[in-house]
């Protein structure tokens, strides 16, 4: 199972929207996908229609060792897509984990304990911070996808994220790499979006996905129906863009991960 963190410490840049819809798009291609909601806001869980009653065990219990992976996994309405939900309890984890042994490796340990053949790919939706939750995601992952909002300050804060990736790579996880940067909320009618896209590509180069995710109201409506946009309206521009992004992502994955 290849594990990919969806991370950017900036809030509201499209991490959760990307995690949900990429996970759905990958599942639609036949892959078995696990999505881990590692954000106390629980947006990925709500957006996939998993009600609070079904979050008996969550990523919090998984990190603190109070449950196994099997106990925490819930199915979603999307075939081949399973979820480990999050609850607000997770907001305490940043503090509580400080005293726990091996605190940066809790997620990795929990994932390593499970039978590996069940899912081909695992996406981890990170919170908007570079705290212990995001560190756990980066330590547990092979690579990272960075959603970047196509707006004036897009690159601001990115150096902090890259420094954190470098620290995790040097300290714990030498194989960690950036799989791709995805431009989100791109507005075709706005020159600024095009300008930002050019700037980001000039600075970051090939790591930026060719596919850009347009600003599309269907993407923001879908979570209130508890559905990925790809199911809510699979023909809207946002859904089509996430399908294209998934195809690009698959090309960047090691072949054995795609076959799983």
| Binding region for ligand ATP (CB under 6 A) | 11-17, 39, 41, 43, 128, 184-185, 213, 215-216, 219-220, 223, 238
| 42 interface partner picked from Mg ion, ligand ATP, none, CB below 5 to 8 A per type | none
Give the separation between CA 11 and CA 149, rounded to whole angstroms. Answer: 10
Strand residue runs (E) in the chain: 2-6, 33-37, 74-75, 81-84, 121-125, 143-149, 177-186, 208-214
**Chain residues in the site for Mg ion (CB under 5 A):** 15-16, 43
Give the shortest CB-150-to-Mg ion separation in angstroms.
Answer: 17
Q: Which is nearer to ligand ATP, 72 or 182 (CB)?
A: 182
Secondary structure percentages of the chain, helix, strand, coil, to 5: 50, 15, 35
Give the shortest CB-93-to-Mg ion separation in angstroms.
Answer: 16
Token representation of residue 252: 């960047």
Q: Which is nearer to ligand ATP, 120 or 223 (CB)?
A: 223
Q: Which is nearer to ligand ATP, 17 or 59 (CB)?
A: 17
| 219 interface partner picked from Mg ion, ligand ATP, none, CB below 5 to 8 A per type | ligand ATP
What is the DSSP code string of 225-249?
Answer: GTS-HHHH-TTSHHHHHHHHHHHHH
Give the shortest CB-128-to-Mg ion separation in angstroms.
Answer: 7
Give the shortest CB-62-to-ligand ATP separation in angstroms.
Answer: 19
SS3 78: coil
Give the shortest CB-240-to-Mg ion separation in angstroms.
Answer: 22
Return the residue nearest Mg ion (CB atom): 16
Angle, CA of 228, 225 and 128, to the nearest 5°: 60
Angle, CA of 206, 210 and 211, to the nearest 5°: 145
| 12 interface partner picked from ligand ATP, Mg ion, none, CB below 5 to 8 A per type | ligand ATP
| 83 interface partner picked from ligand ATP, Mg ion, none, CB below 5 to 8 A per type | none
């Amino acid at each position: 199972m290849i594990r990919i963190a969806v991370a950017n410490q900036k809030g509201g840049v499209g991490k959760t929207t990307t995690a949900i819809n990429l996970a759905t798009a990958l599942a639609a291609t036949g892959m078995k996908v696990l999505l881990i909601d590692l954000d106390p806001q629980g947006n990925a869980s709500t957006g996939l229609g998993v009600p609070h009653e079904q979050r008996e065990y969550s990523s919090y219990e998984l990190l603190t060792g109070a449950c196994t992976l099997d106990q925490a996994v819930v199915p979603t309405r999307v075939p081949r897509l399973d979820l480990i939900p999050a609850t607000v309890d997770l907001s305490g984890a940043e503090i509580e984990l400080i005293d726990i042994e091996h605190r940066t490796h809790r997620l990795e340990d929990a994932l390593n304990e499970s039978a590996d053949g069940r899912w081909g790919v695992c996406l981890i939706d990170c919170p908007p911070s570079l705290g212990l939750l995001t560190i756990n995601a980066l330590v547990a992952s092979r690579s990272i996808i960075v959603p970047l909002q196509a707006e004036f300050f897009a690159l601001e804060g990115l150096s902090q994220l890259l420094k954190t990736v470098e620290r995790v790579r040097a300290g714990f996880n030498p194989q960690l790499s950036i799989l791709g940067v995805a431009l989100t909320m791109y507005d075709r009618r706005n020159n600024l979006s095009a300008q930002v896209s050019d700037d980001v590509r000039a600075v970051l180069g090939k790591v930026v996905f060719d596919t850009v995710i347009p600003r599309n109201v269907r993407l923001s409506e879908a979570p209130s129906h508890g559905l990925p946009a790809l199911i809510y309206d699979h023909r809207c521009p946002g859904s089509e863009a996430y399908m294209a992004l998934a195809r690009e992502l698959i090309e960047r994955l090691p072949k054995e991960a795609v076959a799983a």
